[in-house]
A and B are shown apart, each in its own frame.
Chain A
């Protein structure tokens, strides 16, 4: 019974979402607002349950331990973060945000260097799962450089006052733009495929469920 109710609710909501095909309409908006409400509440509940309450419980267990004392710092910062809702004390909340930004920057720096930059640059020979021939490898490297040069926007001003790239860079940029267009075409195709899959799955799912209900 529950499943049927769920199914019917799901179906109705899906139809509300699909009404957007005709154009923006209140039904679609209602559905979206419900989705936002539910997902926000769900996340809050989950964070509360999985991240905050355990810490509170842990501190409650042993409030005087060194670890617990140390946790006073984040708790104080967290309280300041809550004060940010009062305009007069909003500046106090900036300290917590500063901590998050500092730590996040450090982690991103490390990850980008060790996780993407170095591994993507230092793939030589048989390293990695490349099954390209050397020529293919060189072509890939050249195309990658062309793509990177396409993102190089510095240039010089010509007589007419327009900003133009140096002459030697113009050829590479043209190639890079073509590569990018092909890449984006491929991505578009992949996304379209995925969404077609999802559409097919939805329709197939409801189709199947109704067939089941009918049966």
Chain B
């Protein structure tokens, strides 16, 4: 009873308090609670990183190369320790913004490369779409994508005659402003309704993701 009851009480009471303070703009209460929450969020983020480190450290200690897993774990652990160390040295002031440098030299290019690699895989998936699934929906999907891409390409290009490029423009605007917006709006409203439903269930204690 203790194990399950206390977390439930904490969740309902703090949620209710926050809701009431936001509704009635009682900033003192809401800010205090938000402070505590954000602090706990920070601690949770830190613990997450530490957990990642301990998992890969165990893999290293286990000496069982599961498909060469040790090398990758070693790389992860070393990179974490290096960056963490640099962060501490930054903190201590031994170094100056070394973490930023690491970020720029390593993280940024890696992330950018990954993002740019996305283009190749998007094209590949688009090409295979008709090979895998030949339905009206997929044809509609691919046609819209090609149309938008062509419109992006030709609107600014003088190759096509103005009429065609303006036709492209109007078509793209029509699609974008009416159909896509309606679709996105529908999706957003749907998502909002979902969020509202889930929040109410959490506040009433019907959903308890915190009880393991």
Contacts and interface: CB of A to CB of B under 8 A. Distances in A.
B76 to A, nearest CB: 4
A37 B41 CA distance: 20
Contacts of A178: 137, 140
Given A43-B49, A48-B46, A140-B182, A196 B119 contact: yes
A48 B46 CA distance: 7
B78 interface: yes
Contacts of B147: 185
Nearest to A103: B37
B77 interface: yes
B137 A40 contact: no
Contacts of A73: 36
Contact of B107 (A38, A106, A177): A38
B84 A44 contact: yes
B179 A143 contact: yes
Contacts of B188: 116, 120
B101 interface: yes
A106 B37 CA distance: 12
B109 A10 contact: yes
B202 to A, nearest CB: 4
Contact of A17 (B15, B90, B113, B138): B113
Interface string A136-152: 10011101111110110
A160 interface: no
Contacts of A144: 182-183, 185-186, 189
The binding surface of chain B is classed by DSSP as: helix
B141 A42 contact: no
Contact of A44 (B19, B45, B108): B45
A191 B51 CA distance: 33
B18 interface: yes
Given A95-B6, A102-B15, A112-B196, A10 B105 contact: yes
A102 B13 contact: yes
Interface in B104-158: 104-120, 122-123, 126, 137-138, 140-149, 152
Interface string B1-44: 00100111011111110110011000000001111111111111
Nearest to B10: A98
Contact of B47 (A20, A81, A110, A151): A81
A90 B7 CA distance: 12
Contacts of A11: 109
A164 interface: no
B160 interface: no
B178 A147 contact: no
Contacts of B35: 74
B6 A198 contact: no
A132 B43 contact: no
B94 interface: no
Contacts of B212: 90-91, 94
User: What are the 7 tightest A-B residue pairs by CB atom distance, in nearest-first order?
Assistant: A147-B186, A185-B144, A45-B87, A183-B183, A37-B79, A102-B15, A10-B109
Given A112-B196, A116-B189, 16 more contacts: A6-B101, A14-B110, A14-B113, A32-B110, A36-B76, A42-B102, A46-B87, A74-B39, A99-B40, A109-B199, A120-B185, A147-B187, A180-B187, A182-B140, A193-B149, A198-B119
13 contacts: A10-B108, A13-B106, A17-B110, A17-B114, A35-B107, A81-B43, A94-B7, A101-B202, A144-B183, A182-B140, A188-B144, A188-B145, A189-B145
